[in-house]
Structure formats: C-alpha cells, structure tokens
Structure 1
Amino acid sequence: MYIVNSSNVYSLTENIPIPVEDYYHRATINDHGTFEQFVHHKKEGNWTRVWRSFDDPCTANSVCGIYGMCTSPDNETVTCNCIPGHTPLDPDNVSKGCHPETVMNYCLENSGGNYTVEVVEDADFPSDLTADLARVEHVDVEGCKKAIMDDCYSLAASLVDSTCRKKRTPLLNARKSASTKGIKALIKVPIKTSNPDIRKLTRKKKFNSQAFLEIGSITSAILAFLLGVAAIYYNPAAQRFIKRNN
C-alpha cells in the first residue's frame, strides 16, 4: 500500500507476500479506528493482517470518547471505561464517552477538602503540546499531586519519570496499555458525602409542601362554594323568587 503525492511515493506496508498478484488484498478501518491491511492467498489460507496504522490501538484519537479510558493489555483487544469520578453517557456503549458524576468548581475557596487525587498505575493521557497545561520537573507522586491540587484549572496529570504533566480539559485519549507501562495518571475525584441532616430536612420540606397543597385545595374549594352561593343569592331571578315566597 502506498501514499502518492505530486512528486513522491511513500510505502506504508512491508512484508507483503509475493508475487502480489497471487493474493487478494483488503484494507479496512476497524471499529476502534485503526486502518489495517489484510492479504489472502487466492487458492488457500485465511485473511492475514500485514499492516496497521497503530501498533497500540488505544492511540486512535478519542477511541473511548471524552473522559473515557482505553485499555488494551495485548495491543489487540480494546475495552472502554470511564476515568475515576465519571460515569458513561450511554451505559450500553461506553465508547461514546463519559461525564462527571459530580460537577464541581475546583476554583472555589476551601474546595480542597471536597476531593481527592487518585493515582492509576500504568496509565497515561496524551503528552502532545496541545494537551499539556504545564509541566513541573523533578517531582515524585506526592509532588505531582500537590501540583494539580494547587492548580484549580487542572483536573489531571501524567507523571512520566520525574516530570508532572498537568493536563487541559476536557480529557481525551486516556489509555492503559503496553505503551504506558511505568507511567502514572493522577485525577481529581470529588468525595461522595452523605449528610443525614440534609435528608431529614428534605423529607420535612416535602411533607410540609404536601400539607400546604392539601390545605390550599380545601380552602379553594370552600371559597368556590361560598362564591357560588353568593352569586346565586344576588342573582336577580333568585331575588324575585325570595320576595315572592316572603
């Protein structure tokens, strides 16, 4: 397979069996976004892959959507999950991406006690210049945690060797595969809290609201009845009937 422009020819594939005319050739894009080439002998055998655009299928752009993490332990199969603190947009198809379980403003004063920083071993976010918000050199895991906790605009970071690479949002292309061994992904995750006093207050408010509606309905019915009686009493026809009986 070749790429041709006005002046050059670039070979994409290698190790193509020869003679070429003895084989069927097929090029496809699989459901994970990887471009692949297969060959099949015209007389026998099966389809065999001879080339693909990515050795690591998780490097395909946004294969698991926004805030999704691609996992591929063998560089063949792909599994999509949400990064910590997030839930699928579509539970039946996680590859569509994820959204935060709890929406939180990390720039609010005293918000530091409302979240923690989780570390995912052997995982990474893309490290190109457009993905990195800033880099902090010569730090360990704790130093990288502090770096993103001190930066309310950073949701996550990758610790590669001793470099903490703080990431921009939204987070794309998170991956956990053979190419991310030894890298640590750090992610801010809101702490889930349960306050029984709030639940009691909510139930009390619901009860009071229901009682108020019931009282309001009864009062409205009584007023409607009284207004109806008054309208009938002061009706001219009703007045003539009353005078005639008196």
Structure 2
Amino acid sequence: MAILLWLMLLVASFHGSPAQNSTRTIVSGSRLVANSRITSSWPSPLGDFAFGFYNLSEDRFLVGIWFNKIPERTLAWSFNRNQPVGLGSYVELTVAGRLLLKDSQGSETYIYNGPLYATSANMKDDGNFALRNSDGSIIWQSFDSPTDTLLPGQSLATNQTLISNANGTIDFSEGRFNLEMQFDGNLLLNAYRYKDPAYWYTGSIGENGYLHFNATNMIMFVYNTTTPNQNNLSDAGNLPTPHSDYYHRATLNDVGNFQIFYYKKANVPQVGQWSWSLAWQAIEQPCNVTGLCEEYGYCFLDANQKPSCLCPLNFTLLDPNNPFKGCSPDFAPQRCGKDSSMRNFTVQVIEGVDYPNNNFADLAELKHSDRESCRKAVMDDCSCMAAVFLVAERTCLKKRMPLLNGRSDTSANGRIAFIKVATTDDTALPSPDKNKDPSSRDLAAGLIITSSVLILIFAAGAIYCRLASRPCGLIKPSSITSAIEIKLKSV
C-alpha cells in the first residue's frame, strides 16, 4: 500500500496539478499540419479550448479556436474564414518570430507579422491564443481580433466589429450583419451591405467606448470614459451558478441577432446530453432585423420561434437550400407605355405582412384610404408593384422596388400587403432562346439556305460530269499562235 501511494505521488509530481500546469508552451519551430484523420491542434492546459485546424470537410480547414471538450466543437475564432485551406497546409511559429500559415498550394499568409519577435506561444484556458516575446510579454493575441464571438474576459474596442457567419455552421465566411462599437461610443447592429444605419443600438455616447464581457459575473456591458457609469446589456439572473461550471460565449449569429449562451461542463460529455442555452439576446423580435429575407421575401417565426423566410405567390427562392437569400419574380414586371396592359396582372393580397423601411422605400403615402382603394392604387399604377395598407391608420403606402424587410409577425398585425403579379404566360420571363435578336435569327437562316443551294449546285455538276465521261474543270487557253489578220479597205 505504501509503495502504491509513493507511485501515485511520483506521477503527480511529474504531471503537476492544474494550477501548476497553467501553460503549455509552444516554442519556435513548432508546426501544425492539416490532417483529415486526426485533429491537428495545440490544446489549452485543461483542454477546454484548442488552437489549430478546424475541419470543415475532409479537405477543407479553418485555422481557428474552438471549445474542445464539447461534442459540437463550437468555433470561437478563425483566421481564414473567407479562404479555407486544404490538406497538407500548415501553421508554424517560425524561428524568425512570426506565425505563418502556408496552404497546400504554397501560398503564405502571416497570422502575425509584427515588428516584435515572438519566441513562444500558448493556448490559454480562457480561449485566448497568445504570442510572447523573450521576456514573456504578450505581443499578439486572438482576443484583439474577434470574428463573430466574444468570450468572457474579452472586449470589443472602439471601431472594432463582429461580423456574422454567412450560414450558421455550414458557411463560416463573412455574412451580412455586424456589431460595431462606433468611435462615438454607440454600440449598434446593422446590415452593413445595405448601408443600414442600425436596427438596434445602445445610444451610449462617449469617448473611448468599449463593450466588455465580464469574466467574473458574466455580465455584458458598455463603458466609456465620458460617462463612466457602465451600461449593462445583460444581467446574471438568467445564468446558472456557479459560473465556473459552465462555458459562456456571446455570438452575433447569421440572422443578425447578438446573443449570450451557456453550456454545462462535463468530464465526459455525450452527444445530445447538453446543448447551448440562450441567456440573453439583443433582438426580441427576430424578424425586425433589416434585410433578413433579402429582396421580396418575408420573415416568419417557425414552431421553435426561430426566423425563416417565405416568398409571395409567383415568386421563387433564389437558393432553395437557404431561404434567407431572397426571392425573384417568375414574371416580367409591368412596364409603363403604349404596350402596358392591366389585363395580364392581378393583385395578390397577403394578410398580416408588412414591408417597412425608411421613407425612401415609400413611393407614395395615401391617407384616408381603405382596403379596396389601396388595392386599386396598385392595380392602376403601372410604375407600382406593391403597397402596404395600415388598417388602423387608414393609410396606403405604395412601395418602391425591390421590396425589402418583409415580415409576418406580431409587428405586422393590422397590415395588409398588396403585390402585383402576372396572371398569364404572356408575362412570363423569356427563356434564353426568346431573347435572341430577330435580325440574328434571319441572318443565320439566310446563311443556311445559301449554303444548301451551293451544295446542291456542286453536287449536280459532279453527277453530270461523271455521266458524260468527260473531265470537268477550267477551260485551258487556246494554242493558236498566229494573229488573225484583218485587211482594211477604203470605201
């Protein structure tokens, strides 16, 4: 028994306790290689996080940081989200003090290429990957360049942004929404590709503003030096305790909502045993996100209260696998002019659907309207394709094209959308063959006919020559050598 106890103490002295083994040092010359069979990574001391090659598929990888002890392996940071690399790519802490990514095609990109010399690196248990110089000072860290997620202890500084993924865990490239800490101290969410001013903001104005995720109480707050009172966005009331028994993250998701989640830690987690639970979110009405369903689509909440998108009748999803990419009409829109006709169009009525936007989106505002007059206003105007009738306000808002921000949720109660659509095949979008220039078709037909006639002439000539048993070809010049003499006489 004494010998067994002595052996246990000896093993413990080699491995050390978690507190003693607080870092795993990565030295110059260390390298990770992308491999489809095993995960190539540098884990944190307790194994909660790992830095390395995150598998998207058998031959596509991101250089990133992920939660290493949960089955989902949720990604918290990535370097090359827009350009995944292939098998055989590697990351190296070079002897020249740089952190290099070299892909399988030989292209080199520096994750760190600063003026200071990195002699070591380590993946920390808080999810931060850091490079250090010879005296141990941090000269670069992943916490300073977030992608779509903040971890406890991490901040979003002035003029920094989080950018959403394009499509959840399917496409990690940059998406359509960002969370930005502006230079004036205001934190806002916007659909930046639409130059949207903001669909959510804190209104916190002051110098040197930043957003911070407190690692002690897990509260998210905004702070600036002008008004030093912190503005708490979340509270700890919805979080289970003790906080140390759970993982936490704050993520801007692919549908434009900034949310805080927690996940129960387990020594041996099983798939389906635990999942990320929502503790707080910036947007309570998910369909209020600007441009969520892109052009013509409108947002609705499914049975799980998650947003999705639908198209009006006679419209088709641009991508059946991703309804958030918008819709396109199956017909040619009505045109104004002498060829314009209302006979081939009708007005589709959709109860409880709104297409709100700023004043620029409204072609006209017709007050003291009713349902029928609003429908007729759309039908009679060749330049108008849609309108929304506000029942309580008795107002008809004729819309500009394309339609954006469509939604069918509680905010659309008392709204009726009128959309002009085609009724016959005469207004169907032309196929590529119908788009050809008529003059081009006539020219092609003429060339074909001319070629056919020439072929028939040559064929007939060849048959005639064979039947006549005589050579057919060019007539040779005459062999007459003497000139014809003509005598002139006077009359």
Alpha carbons of 1:227 and 1:126: their partners in 2 closer, same or farther (altered >3 Å)?
farther
> Helix, strand or coil for the counterpart of 2:348?
strand
Quote the offset at 1:37 in angstroms.
1.0
The partner residue of 1:59 within 284, 288, 291 is 288
1:177 aligns to 2:442 (yes or no): no
1:2 aligns with one of 221, 225, 229: 221
Q: Give 1:48's aligned residue.
A: 277
Alignment match, 2:258: 35
Match of 1:86 in 2: 315
Match of 2:233 in 1: 12
Q: Distance in 2 between matches of 1:84 and 1:173?
A: 17
Identity across matched positions, percent: 36
| Residues 131/20 of structure 1: CA separation in 2 closer, same or farther (3 Å cut) | farther
Could you say which structure has the larger radius of gyration? 2
Partner of 1:112, secondary structure, is coil
* Bigger Cα displacement from structure 2, 161-170 vs 129-138: 129-138
User: Could you tell me how far 1:30 is from its partner in structure 2?
Assistant: 2.6
Q: How many residues align?
A: 228
| Greater share of residues in helix | 1
What are the within-5 Å matches in structure 2 for residues 8-157 of structure 1? 8=227, 9-14=230-235, 15-17=237-239, 21-22=243-244, 23-40=246-263, 47-73=276-302, 76-109=305-338, 110-157=340-387
Q: Does 1:222 align with 2:456?
A: yes
Poorly superposed stretches of 4+, deviation over 6 Å: 210-214, 226-231
Contact persistence 1:122–1:184 (CA under 8 A): yes
- TM-score for the superposition, normalised by structure 1: 0.74
Q: CA deviation at 1:123?
A: 0.9
Gaps of 5+ in 1: 195-201, 203-209, 241-246
CA distances 1:120-179 after superposition (whole Å, capped 9, x unpaired): 011111143232222112222101112223433322111122211111111112111233
Contact 1:70 1:79 in 2 (8 A): yes
> Is the Cα contact below 8 Å between 1:139 and 1:163 reproduced in 2?
yes
Q: TM-score, normalised by structure 2?
A: 0.40
Q: Which moved more, 1:21-30 or 1:117-126?
A: 21-30
Distance 1:94 1:182 in 2: 25
Q: Does the aligned pair in 2 maintain the 1:57–1:75 contact within 8 Å?
A: no
Is 1:157–1:167's contact at 8 Å kept on the other side of the alignment? yes
Residue 188 (structure 1) shift: 0.8
Shift of 1:102: 1.2
In 2, the alpha carbon distance for the partners of 1:231 and 1:7 equals: 104
Closer, same or farther: CA 7–94 of 1 in aligned 2, 3 Å: same
Quote the Cα distance in structure 2 between the aligned partners of 1:5 and 1:231. Answer: 101
Post-superposition offset of 1:218: 3.7
1:20 and 1:173 map into 2 onto residues whose CA distance is 41
Q: How much has 1:101 moved relative to structure 2?
A: 1.1
Distance 1:132 1:93 in 2: 28
Q: Deviations over 1:65-117 (max 9, x none)?
A: 21112221557223322223322223343322222211123423452222111
Q: Is the 8 A contact 1:73 1:178 kept in 2?
A: no
Moved more, 70-79 or 164-173: 70-79
Contact 2:318 2:327 (C-alpha < 8 Å) held by counterparts: yes
Q: Which residue in 2 is equivalent to 1:160?
A: 390
Bigger mean CA offset, 154-163 vs 13-22: 13-22
The 3-state SS of whatever aligns with 1:113 is coil
Structure 2, gaps ≥5 residues long? 1-219, 268-273, 427-433, 435-443, 466-470, 480-491
- CA root-mean-square deviation: 3.7
Question: Is 1:74–1:178's contact at 8 Å kept on the other side of the alignment?
Answer: no
Tell me the residue number matched to 1:232.
Answer: 473
Post-superposition offset of 1:214: 7.4
Counterpart of 2:457, as a letter, is L
Give the secondary-structure state (helix, strand or coil) at the position aligned to 1:145. Answer: helix
Give distance in 1, aligned partners of 2:411 and 2:347: 23
In structure 2, how many angstroms separate the alpha carbons of the residues matched to 1:146 and 1:77?
Answer: 35
**Contact 1:84–1:187 (CA<8 Å) still a contact in 2?**
no
Counterparts in 2 of 1:112 and 1:75: CA distance versus 1, 3 Å: farther
